[in-house]
Structures are given as structure tokens and as C-alpha cells.
Chains A and B, each alone.
Chain A
Amino acid sequence: MEQLLALFSDYTFQIVALGTGFLGLLSGVVGTYATLRKESLLGDALSHAALPGIALAFLLIGKKDLVYLLGGALISGLIATALIQWISKKSTVKFDNALSVVLSSFFGLGLVLLTHIQGLENANQAGLEKFIYGQASSMLLSDVQLLLAVGAGILVLVLLLWKELKVFAFDPVFTQTLGFQTRILQFILSAMIILTVIFGLESVGVILMSALLIGPAVAARQWSDRLGVVLILAGLFGMVSGVAGTFISSIGRQIPTGPTIVLVLSLIVMISLIFSPKRGLIIRWVNQRRKKKAYIKQIEEKQERSEKYAR
């Protein structure tokens, strides 16, 4: 008990939990739009594509300043998104195929640059690889402050453009006939996804970021048919996973934070898929059995009646 109290009053834990919790909230909200637009795997591609941007920014500036590294990640993420959308729209190449080629060649370029950096005589290089797995425990107060500022900006934008983003996610063609520039909305959405992914790289890393975008949205969808409620629940699920994952990895020894967050989140997803009272697998199974029984009963009664009639 005392240990727990000590943990909660621990400064590092507070910062990391605040960071991962807010990141979870943000990716829950942004991820809901991404999944509704069927662009959830774009997040996965983006997290890989950010790597060369991070490495290039480091090469140009020569120090590990988070703002510049994230700026580099943002630019290479935007280029990758534009490339993927351009290729899949302008040719018969399927979206998935464009996604995987861009993802792996950008990541390859990132590796090439990182290996080059490691060969340089520079004491600052250490820790760049942490973007690949993420290292939540090394979050600094300034990192979290930056995350809070950008994240708050994104949340305000979501509130301001509430109806525009909703109608765009639901029916882009109709949105266009209403007189809204869908290109602007698409750009805003992509930028929000990229920013969230980039912040996620630092704490959960390249590979696990897609789970943080998709998981909360899928889980939340099971509990409500209204976009507002789904968004709030997704934010909540993301936040709970972030904080709980950080907590679990802090009380045990040698438990990495990022994977633990994903584990907690996956648990929430599974519970939602199975036990949701409206759409859950259990209630669906029960309903199907009930229907089947009702049909069988109807048929039996019919048969009985016809037999009686025959007699």
C-alpha cells in the first residue's frame, strides 16, 4: 500500500501517466474519425514514414530537440500521405498496396539515415532509436507540455468543426454538394492523424501506434450509436489504457510501457466486442438462438395443426 502511495506521488510517474493518458485521449478522438473514414491503417503507415523525417531533422540540426524532430516527422508524414493518396487515386493500384510500399521504403530510408547517424561521432545520437519502440518512461515535462498544447489545439478544432467533420466522415460527396471544400477537410483530418501519430511515436513507438488509433474507436462503437458518445468513450478508453498501462509497467520490473498500454487496450476492445449489450457477440448469439427456437416452435405448431386437420 505504501509502495502504491509512493508511486502515485512519484514525479516521474505523474508526468508519464499524464502524457500517456492524454495521448490515449487524443488518439481515441482522432482515431475515431480515422476509422470512420476507413483510413485507420494510414496511421500505421504514417508512423513508419515519420522515421526518415526524424533522422533528417537530427542530421540538419545536430541535436535532439523534440520540436524539430517532430517537425521533421510531420513533413515526411505529410509527404507519405500525399504519395499514398496520389498513387491510389491516379492509378489502378489498390490503396493497401500503395500503403505498404510507401511504408516500407520510407522506413528503409529512415534506417539508412539512422545507421549513418550511428556511424557519426556525436554523443547526442543515443536515443533516436527510441522512436521505433517508444519509451514512455523517458518523457520529460517539456515533452508533455508540448503534447498538451498541440492536443488541446486538436480537440478545439474538433469542437469547432464538429458538424463539418461529421458530415464529411459520413458522406464526402454530399458534403461537397453542400458547398464545403472537402479538400480542406481531408487535409485537416490527415494533419490531425499525423500529429497524433507523431506524439505517439515517442511513448508507444512506430509499430504499436496503430492500435492506439484503432482500438478505442472500435471499442467505443460497440456501446453507442451516436457520434458524440462514441468520441467521448473512445477518448476515455484511450486515456484509461494509457494510465493503466503506465501504472502496471511501473509496479513490475522490466515491463515495457508501450506494449502494456496496447495489452490493456486490447482487453477493453475484447470486452466491448463480446459483452456490449446491443451489438456484442453474446447478445447476438442469444438472439439468434431465441429466433431459431421461435421458428422451430412455429413450424411444429403448424405441423400439429395440419395433422389435426388431416385427422
Chain B
Amino acid sequence: MSEEAITLKHLTVAYQSVPVLWDVSLGFKKGKMTAIIGPNGAGKSTLIKAMLQLIKPLTGEVAFSLNDHQMAPYKEVKQQVAYVPQNSSVDWDFPTTVLDVVTMGRYGRLGWFKRAKKADKEIAAQQLAKVGMQTFADRQISQLSGGQRQRVFLARALAQEADIYLLDEPLAGVDMKTERIIMNLLHELVAEGKTVIVVHHDLQTVEEYFDEVVFINRSLMAAGSVSSAFTDKNIEETYRTDQNVGERSAQP
């Protein structure tokens, strides 16, 4: 069995009074491309946010393992984990250029006070070229289409040069060209030995794109390699058990 990049133990998350994720214990395999699948409101985004400590879980642990094979909590490995949020709710009228946004991916490595150097800008420009946006480098960000914005945010994550990439629905509402570019890049990352975890909504493409699959609906429904776990039975159970779990979560 291959090693785990992220290990979750009994993770439970609640907003206000409703548990959104219930007792999730799970390992994400290192160097693989994993899809997180589940119906709307199943807690997929919450799972990612809880792993990044953007939401404080009620109980449970999240541990990361990088190339040194040591398990560590998130705050010690922040630099090695890159995150692409779902349709990022930033102010698109912000006075900044595309290249500037991608360069922000370098800031974490620089730490407090240090300025971005020429080398950082070059890395940012390279990532921008990878997503096919180099000609837009000097544009203000409000002039981009939805797919282009998504590619810029992927480039920003790439500029972080992390070991683990977490992406929340990167393919939602993007054009075919953007989808192809994003998936090719993610496969390249995996080929380099990096771990990629994607919240995915399109069941049709799971077998084509991913190695591993995780089914989530309020709790862990199933997990494993696509060849073994992506079965009709698991899909059906994940997408129809809403009421079941609803009852359980209604308990005080």
C-alpha cells in the first residue's frame, strides 16, 4: 500500500447547530490524483476547508506527510500545501494585474517583510505561460472571462511550488479549452510525484481523469482506487442517502 499524504482521523465539522461532516477517517494517497465526489451540500468544500484549518473542526485530527515522511499538523507544512478555492470571492475591480496575482503565490515562501524578487516574477511568468495566459500578464483582472480567471488562480497555486494541491471544483463552469489545460497541468504535477486532490462534480469524467476516488455525503461513503471503488453501487448510495444522514444529523 502506498503512503498517505494527508490522513484524517475522526474529523467532525459543524456550522451553527448542524453537523456538516460526520466522523470522517480517511487517507489521501501520495503522488495520486484523487477526486472528491458527492451531491450538492454533501460537505465536499467543507472537508477541504477543514483540512486547511479555514474552518475549525469540532473534533478530529488532520495530519500531513511530505517528502520527509514525517507526519505534521497543517501549520507546519503550510508552504507545501496550495489551495485553489471555488469561484474565489475576491474583488475583481482590485487594482492589480494578472502577473501580480500569480506572483502572490510566491509570498508564502518569502515570509514576512521580504519583497518579491526578479526570480519570483520569472517563476510566476512561467506558470502563467503554462496555463496559456502569458499574453494577459499586464491586464487588469476584471477583463478576464470565468475560465481565464480560474486558470490565473491555478497559476497562482502552481507558483507556490507545493507538494500537495487542493482544488475546489476547478472545472465548474469553465470552457472546454480551460478544462483541457487544467487537467493536463494537474496530470503533469502527479507525474512529478505531487499529490492532487480535486472536488469534482462531473461523474462522466472521473474514470478518465482520476486515480483515486472519495465519496462524501455528510460522512465518508466509500474510498479507493477508481478501478475498484468507482462502482454503480457506491455512486447510488452516495447520491441517495440524503434522508438517512439527515435523520442522523438531526440528533442533538
A/B contact in complex, CB under 8 angstroms: yes
Residues of A within 8 A of B (CB): 36, 38, 160-164, 166-167, 169-171, 173-180, 221, 224-227, 229-230
Q: A225: which B residues are within 8 A, CB to CB?
A: 95-97, 140
Identify the closest chain A residue to B108 (Cβ).
A178
Whether, in the assembled complex, B208 has its beta carbon less than 8 Å from a beta carbon of chain A, the answer is: no
Q: Indicate whether A177 sits within 8 Å of B94 (C-beta atoms), given known contacts A163-B110, A167-B107.
A: no
Q: A229: which B residues are within 8 A, CB to CB?
A: 95
Q: Sample 7 A-B pairs with CB under 8 A, ordered by A number.
A: A161-B113, A163-B107, A163-B110, A170-B91, A174-B104, A174-B156, A177-B78
Which of the residues B82, B83, B90, B113 comes within 8 Å of A170, measured between beta carbons?
Answer: B90
Q: Considering the chains assembled together, what is the distance between the CA atoms of A166 and B93 in angstroms?
A: 14
Expressed in whole angstroms, the minimum distance between the Cβ of A281 and any Cβ of chain B is 16
Q: Considering the chains assembled together, what is the distance between the CA atoms of A174 and B160 in angstroms?
A: 12
Q: Considering the chains assembled together, what is the distance between the CA atoms of A179 and B74 in angstroms?
A: 10
Q: B160: which A residues are within 8 A, CB to CB?
A: 178
Main secondary structure of the interface of A (DSSP, over half): helix
Q: Considering the chains assembled together, what is the distance between the CA atoms of A297 and B22 in angstroms?
A: 61
User: In the complex, which residues 103-153 of chain B have their Cβ closer than 8 Å to any Cβ of chain A?
Assistant: 104, 107-108, 110-113, 115-116, 140
Whether, in the assembled complex, B88 has its beta carbon less than 8 Å from a beta carbon of chain A, the answer is: yes
Q: Indicate whether A171 sits within 8 Å of B90 (C-beta atoms), given known contacts A162-B115, A179-B79, A226-B96.
A: yes
Whether, in the assembled complex, B1 has its beta carbon less than 8 Å from a beta carbon of chain A, the answer is: no
Query: When the two chains form their complex, are residues B104 and A177 in contact, meaning their CB atoms are under 8 A apart?
Result: no
Whether, in the assembled complex, B81 has its beta carbon less than 8 Å from a beta carbon of chain A, the answer is: yes
Query: When the two chains form their complex, are residues B108 and A179 in contact, meaning their CB atoms are under 8 A apart?
Result: yes
Given A177-B54, A226-B95, A227-B100; 6 other pairs, CB 8 A cutoff: A161-B113, A163-B116, A173-B54, A177-B108, A224-B95, A229-B95
Query: When the two chains form their complex, are residues A177 and B83 in contact, meaning their CB atoms are under 8 A apart?
Result: yes
Q: B115: which A residues are within 8 A, CB to CB?
A: 162-163
Residues of B within 8 A of A (CB): 52, 54, 75, 78-79, 81-83, 85, 88, 90-91, 93-97, 100-101, 104, 107-108, 110-113, 115-116, 140, 156, 160
Q: Considering the chains assembled together, what is the distance between the CA atoms of A191 and B93 in angstroms?
A: 25
Q: Considering the chains assembled together, what is the distance between the CA atoms of A171 and B108 in angstroms?
A: 13
Q: Considering the chains assembled together, what is the distance between the CA atoms of A36 and B91 in angstroms?
A: 8
Q: B94: which A residues are within 8 A, CB to CB?
A: 36, 169-170, 227
Q: A179: which B residues are within 8 A, CB to CB?
A: 75, 78-79, 108, 111
Which of the residues B54, B79, B97, B156 comes within 8 Å of A176, measured between beta carbons?
Answer: B54
Q: A169: which B residues are within 8 A, CB to CB?
A: 94
Q: A175: which B residues are within 8 A, CB to CB?
A: 107
Query: When the two chains form their complex, are residues A173 and B85 in contact, meaning their CB atoms are under 8 A apart?
Result: yes
Q: A173: which B residues are within 8 A, CB to CB?
A: 54, 85
Query: When the two chains form their complex, are residues A221 and B95 in contact, meaning their CB atoms are under 8 A apart?
Result: yes
